[in-house]
Amino acid sequence: MSEAASITVRRMNFEIRPDMEKYWFGGNPLISAFFFAMSATFPDGERFFIDTVRHYQPGIDDPELKQRIRGFIGQEAHHGKAHEDFNQALEDLGFPMGEVTERSKWLLNNARQRLSPKRQLAITVALEHVTATLAEHALRHPEIMAQMDPTFRDMLIWHAVEEIEHKSVAFDVFRQQVGSEWLRRRVLLLSLILFFVRMMGFQRFLMRADKRRASLREWWQAMRFFWGKGGLMRESLPHFLKAFRRGFHPDDIDQRPLIADWQQHYPEVAALQR
């Protein structure tokens, strides 16, 4: 029996404001563009996640895992849609989001064509660990989230809750259907490197397209955001490293308290449920 949280598919009503500030993370272009880059890659990335799990779906007999797979697919499909709407709003502000999407799609299509289903699933397992880890950081730091555009913040909180709910689904499918720890760990290393290198590349591309250079002060703020006390990378790195252990399971990192009472902690987000 899995310790995983139950997986609820929630439909949300986000009202994206067309007049949002361009660099809506406190005006900082580096941090804002990092979130833009992630948002641009989510819809196709999540479709890839769904397909890699779906491939193994017919072979799963365990009714509980079957149920969780359905929840996972439903959640990821809604995330993709919400981010697509937001990406369009950023495109309307002048950012070439479609171009970033195309570039990440190219990478994913390459993976689809060249890699075996088990390797593709291992990528999903790796990136689901990344999303659950980034989700934990978001839920642990409301003070950081408060610096964002409010709609994106709400979207990210909802997304974070659901990423934690379904974080072990792809993993459990992999363990049951593939089971190679060697493959899982090797692909984890490559996926982590590729993910962050691409995000930094896209971040740079988006800023360049807008002819925006960061000031020294903005660089300093971004360094603190990623690597300072409570920083995104500083807090995430230990979780990333933990996953390299032989026999690691995502539930070894207990994130349930973070999502247990999320509706009470974020009533404004809960109210957006349809």
Least Å distance, CB 169 to Fe ion, is: 8
Which region, judged by CB under 5 A, interacts with Fe ion, from 12-20, 31-39, 71-79, 188-196?
71-79
Q: Which pairs count as long-range contacts for 101-108, CB under 8 Å and 24+ apart, including other chains?
A: 101/40, 101/41, 101/43, 101/44, 103/202, 104/40, 104/41, 104/44, 104/45, 104/198, 104/202, 105/44, 107/194, 107/198, 108/44, 108/45, 108/48
What's the distance, CA 81 to chain centroid?
A: 14
Which of residues 38 and 206 has its CB atom nearest to Fe ion in the complex? 38
| Beta-bridge partners for 273 | 12
Least Å distance, CB 170 to Fe ion, is: 8
CB contact at 8 A, 65 and 42: no
Residue nearest to Fe ion (CB): 79
79 contacts Fe ion (rule: CB under 5 A):
yes
Which of residues 163 and 235 has its CB atom nearest to Fe ion in the complex? 163
Least Å distance, CB 37 to Fe ion, is: 15
| Beta-bridge partners for 12 | 273
Which of residues 31 and 155 has its CB atom nearest to Fe ion in the complex? 155
Which region, judged by CB under 5 A, interacts with Fe ion, from 54-62, 78-86, 97-105, 201-209?
78-86
68 contacts Fe ion (rule: CB under 5 A):
no
Nearest-CA neighbor of 267 among 142, 166, 144?
142
Least Å distance, CB 42 to Fe ion, is: 7
C-alpha–C-alpha distance, residues 43 and 84, integer Å: 6
C-alpha–C-alpha distance, residues 147 and 158, integer Å: 17
Which of residues 160 and 206 has its CB atom nearest to Fe ion in the complex? 160
Least Å distance, CB 68 to Fe ion, is: 12
Site of interaction with Fe ion (CB under 5 A): 76, 79, 128, 131, 163
